[in-house]
Amino acid sequence: MANKEITIKDVAKLAECSPTTVSRVINNSDHPVSKETAEKVEAAIKKLNFSPNRIAQGLKSDRSNIIGVIVHDICDSYFAQMVKGIEEFISGHEYIVNIYNTSRSVEKELHAFNLLKANRADAIILAGGALMDKKYEQKMHSMINQLQNQNTLVLGITPHPFDIKNIILGNDRALEVITDKVIEYGHRKIAYIDGPEKLYTSYLRKKGFKKSLEKNDIAVDDNLIFKGDFSFNGGRKAALEIIKKINSITAVVAANDSTALGAMWELNHQAIKVPDQISVVGIDNLPEAKYSYPPLTTIEIPIYQLGTNIGEYLLNRLNENCNYQFKDIKIKLIMRNSLKRLK
């Protein structure tokens, strides 16, 4: 049944030359090949629909051409866009984009790393924020070590507490900027909806929020910090809590757009007017943030572009261009209607 695979040998036979010569043609080798034979080889390749077995090539060259991408949730626009950007760049250059969803589970993330290690991935992108968990960190240290010994490049998006190249997005800075804006608009009673616990990105974003408050001589009130999980539903739940304290709050800063969108939805649903009764702002500038009621004021983090930049960086590094520097992305304040100026 199983038709035998077409190999370089079959091509050689048809082109009446040696497998070595075929290999040279395939790889545009420096080694000279006569025009005549090259043409015969090309013809044979076409005739047989031959493509070299990348698995075998990989074994030889000690490269798998696999780029592992570990995300928390591919259904989250943030990650979907990043992956799209990475894929756009990477598969155009014959690499395999191998994705894993971890749902922020330590076990799943470790599982992904084990598979990627076994597959001798050329690079691994930790697309999500670092998990804050002692056991995880310990195991990861060892894992990163092994990976580096087998020449796997590991890249962290946002800071990770390992000895890897971390891409800094300025999450803390972004929160500071938007909170500054909220304050500039006259708000002083400002609630915050947090990100998931045990996620370093949450910590960073909250840090930026607090920094802005302190800078502006506003006391940080822990009663005005609400739980969230970066999700729409998390935002909805938080909104319900916020409503209970509605008289002591004029604005809500959410740890991300999904949360802000969920909060606004619930606020609307409970007949609280945004921004008339309460302002809401987010971070990320997801595509859908433009179409909420009201349109969301937020910080743009150009995630898709981040993805292509990651791809470009990886490609250069993987090809020994050690001097290539990562192209940083720029955040930008997007003013829409969910933030109201107070008199």
Q: Which is nearer to DNA, 18 or 166 (CB)?
A: 18
Residue 158 per-residue DSSP state = S
Task: Select the residue interacting with a copy of itself from 119, 277, 305, 337 (CB under 8 A).
Answer: 119
Query: Cβ of 116: how many Cβ atoms within 10 Å?
Result: 25
Q: Which is nearer to DNA, 36 or 94 (CB)?
A: 36
User: What residue 265 binds from DNA, a copy of itself, none (CB within 5 to 8 A, per partner kind)?
Assistant: a copy of itself
Query: Is 123 in contact with 153 (CB distance < 8 Å)?
Result: yes
The torsion defined by the Cα of 280, 255, 206 and 166, in degrees rounded to 10, comes to -140
Residue 167 per-residue DSSP state = E
Q: Using the rule CB under 8 A, give the single segment among 111-119, 240-248, 273-281, 335-343 that binds a copy of itself.
A: 111-119
Residue 152 CB, nearest distance to a copy of itself (Å)?
11
Query: Is 59 in contact with 43 (CB distance < 8 Å)?
Result: no
Residue 75 CB, nearest distance to a copy of itself (Å)?
4
Note whether 250 binds DNA by CB under 7 A: no
Note whether 81 binds a copy of itself by CB under 8 A: yes
Residue 95 CB, nearest distance to a copy of itself (Å)?
9
| Interaction residues for a copy of itself, span 168-197 (CB under 8 A) | none
Note whether 62 binds DNA by CB under 7 A: yes
Cα distances (angstroms) measured from residue 199 to each of 44, 77, 253: 55, 18, 18
Note whether 43 binds a copy of itself by CB under 8 A: no
Amino acid sitting at position 108: K
Note whether 98 binds a copy of itself by CB under 8 A: yes
Q: Which is nearer to a copy of itself, 117 or 198 (CB)?
A: 117
Note whether 183 binds DNA by CB under 7 A: no
Question: Can you list the alpha helix ranges (DSSP code H) found in 150-271?
Answer: 171-184, 200-215, 232-244, 257-269
Residue 94 CB, nearest distance to DNA (Å)?
12
CA distance 89 to 310: 9
Amino acid sitting at position 315: L
Amino acid sitting at position 54: R
Note whether 94 binds DNA by CB under 7 A: no
CA distance 156 to 171: 14
Question: Can you list the alpha helix ranges (DSSP code H) found in 92-231?
Answer: 106-118, 134-149, 171-184, 200-215
The torsion defined by the Cα of 80, 84, 90 and 92, in degrees rounded to 10, comes to 150
Chain residues binding a copy of itself by CB under 8 A are: 2-3, 5-6, 49, 51-56, 58-59, 62, 64-66, 73-75, 77, 80-81, 83-84, 87-88, 91-92, 94, 96-101, 111-112, 114-115, 117-120, 142, 146, 149-151, 232, 265, 287-288, 291, 293
Chain residues binding DNA by CB under 7 A are: 4-5, 7-9, 16-21, 23-24, 26-27, 29, 31-34, 36-38, 52-53, 56-57, 59-62
